[in-house]
Amino acid sequence: MGRPSVQKQRKAEVLDAFLTCASKFGIEGATLERIATEAGLKRPLIRHHLGNRDDMVKALSEYVVTEINTLVAGMREALEGYPTAKDFIDALYTPQSKTDPRLNIVYQSLTHSADSYPGLREELIAVMQSFFDLASEVMQRNHPHATKAECDIVAQGVVGLYLAMDSLSPLNPPSEWAHSSYFASLRLAKSLRDID
């Protein structure tokens, strides 16, 4: 009887190493050598587990998009019982909702490489659109007299503030920054009351 295959585990480890390297060096700077070192494997094994460069970037983008979609779906589900704009903003900034900081950084890195990989731009836009849509839906539920366009504007601002703070997390910024971003998001959401 042969040994059980570790292919799936190794592929996950290599993908995680690619995520780490891409968050540190960007997509193009995440070389096979760096990924191999991070994964603790020899360079030829990286290609064995993830394929050529296009396959590697595709696997990474699929992983990032899936993770962001999972986070948005989880937030949507969590908000079913707590549907206010404040609940949404609280969910973004609560310590329990901390995401892997590499996700947002690699998402940004993928946006810079989107022109080099067919279909990547559309995938990245679609996943972020789902986040904006959720935020806008929450604003519309809370402010039924506001137009969809007005709710979209506020949603863009709230999500943008959150993403900016999330992208700064590797710097371990002063807690006041997150505090200010949180209250700026609340003020944006409250601005829709003037329309009601």
Q: Report the distance separating Cα 38 and Cα 150, nearest Å.
A: 46
At residue 10, the pLDDT reads: 85
Rg (the chain; Cα; Å) = 19
Does 87 share its domain with 163?
A: yes
Whether 139 and 189 have beta carbons less than 8 Å apart is answered as yes
Question: Is the residue at 138 inside a domain?
Answer: yes
Question: Is the residue at 80 inside a domain?
Answer: yes
Query: What's the CATH number where 149 sits?
Result: 1.10.357
Q: Report the distance separating Cα 31 and Cα 170, nearest Å.
A: 21
Does 114 share its domain with 159?
A: yes
Question: Is the residue at 120 inside a domain?
Answer: yes
Give the pLDDT band of residue 134 (cuts 50, 70, 90): very high
Domain boundary (51, 71, 87) is at: 51
Is the Cα torsion angle 187, 189, 195, 196 positive or negative in sign?
negative
Query: What's the CATH number where 32 sits?
Result: 1.10.10.60
Angle at 104 between CA 38 and CA 157, to 5 degrees: 170
**3-state DSSP assignment of residue 22:** helix
Task: State the average pLDDT for the chain.
Answer: 90
Does 8 share its domain with 86?
A: no
What does the pLDDT average to over 94-108? 84
Domain boundary (51, 73, 93) is at: 51
Domain extent, residue 43, equals 1-51
Does 75 share its domain with 168?
A: yes
Does 132 share its domain with 80?
A: yes
Domain boundary (26, 51, 76) is at: 51
Q: Report the distance separating Cα 59 and Cα 115, nearest Å.
A: 17
CA 181, distance to chain mean position in Å, is 18
Q: What percent of the chain has pLDDT over 90?
A: 64
Q: By C-alpha distance, which of 136, 134, 110 is closest to 123?
A: 110
Q: What's at 108, amino acid-wise?
A: Q
Question: Is the residue at 156 inside a domain?
Answer: yes
Report the domain count for the chain: 2
Tens digit of each residue's pLDDT (9 = 90 or more) over 56-76? 999 999 999 999 999 999 888
Does 47 share its domain with 79?
A: no
Q: Report the distance separating Cα 153 and Cα 35, nearest Å.
A: 40
Does 7 share its domain with 71?
A: no
Does 37 share its domain with 86?
A: no
Question: Is the residue at 117 inside a domain?
Answer: yes
**Which H or E element spans position 31?**
none
